[in-house]
Amino acid sequence: MKINELILFTNNLDKQIDFYSIILGFQILNSTPESCSFKVGDSILIFKYRKDVVPYHFAINIPSNKEIEALNWLKERVAVLSFDGNEIIDFSNWNAKAIYFYDIDKNIVEFISRKNLNLNSSLKFSTKLSINISEIGIVTDNIEETYDSLIKINKISVFSGDFDRFCAVGDDQGLFIIVNNKFKKWFPTGDLIEQSDFSIKGDFNFKYTNGKIIEVS
């Protein structure tokens, strides 16, 4: 599944612009007083100003062999979020390794190296090596209903999990991380999960608003 464009909302637009462009080094594609877009590999990440927002979780694919370099690079710039004392989380059942950190809004951002993609690089790590946006969290109180709404738009299969607490749907290129906020908290921090609006373009084109998927052309 391809995520070509992801729109998130922020009430700290200027600080987010500085964080993503200066600290993380993502290229700004366009900036206005109300929004800013960044090049994230083959994807575009857009932040739009909104007064009331809650944190998101999203992930960025990095080269399959770069998690150690990415960790060292990140630790020079941000505080890495560990789990059980581990700064690199080994998802052996996904054949992937991930690193987590907060941005300005306490969105949980993830750099993940997926071994099944076999996309290696010999270059020194920076965010210029980012491959694409590969995950966005969808918060709901009914995972099966949300999944049914997705498959009305396009074919997509369950990658991991179930319809009770957590269900990842898609593939290594792109996943919807559907979580039930009655039973689940955000990994790896244990932060409370709240529904957060976003828009997406790619193999799926929709707005997620007030817990509902609204298809757009």
Read off the pLDDT of residues 79-113 as tens digits, 9 standing for 90 and up: 999 999 999 999 999 999 999 999 999 999 999 99
Tokens 């949980």 — which residue?
108
Q: Using pLDDT thresholds of 50, 70 and 90, give the confidence band for residue 57.
A: very high
Cβ-contact 212, 160 below 8 angstroms: no
pTM equals 0.97
Res 129 pLDDT > 90: yes
Q: Using pLDDT thresholds of 50, 70 and 90, give the confidence band for residue 217.
A: confident
Report the mean per-residue pLDDT for the chain. Answer: 98
Domain, as residue range, for 176: 3-215
- DSSP collapsed to 3 states, the chain: CCEEEEEEEECCHHHHHHHHHHHCCCEEEEECCCEEEEEECCEEEEEEECCCCCCCEEEEEECCCCHHHHHHHHHCCCCEECECCECCEEECCCCEEEEEEECCCCCEEEEEEEHHHCCCCCCCCCHHHCCEEEEEEEEECCHHHHHHHHHHHCCCCEEEECCCCEEEEEECCEEEEEEECCCCCECCCCECCCCCCEEEEECCCEEEECCEEEECC
Q: What is the mean pLDDT of residues 210-217?
A: 95
As beta bridge partners, residue 57 has 108
CA–CA distance, 74 with 23 (Å, rounded to integer): 9
Structural domain tally of the chain?
A: 1
Which CATH number goes with the domain that contains 132?
3.10.180.10
Q: What's the confidence (pLDDT) of residue 54?
A: 95
**In this structure, what token pair is assigned to residue 47?**
């932040």
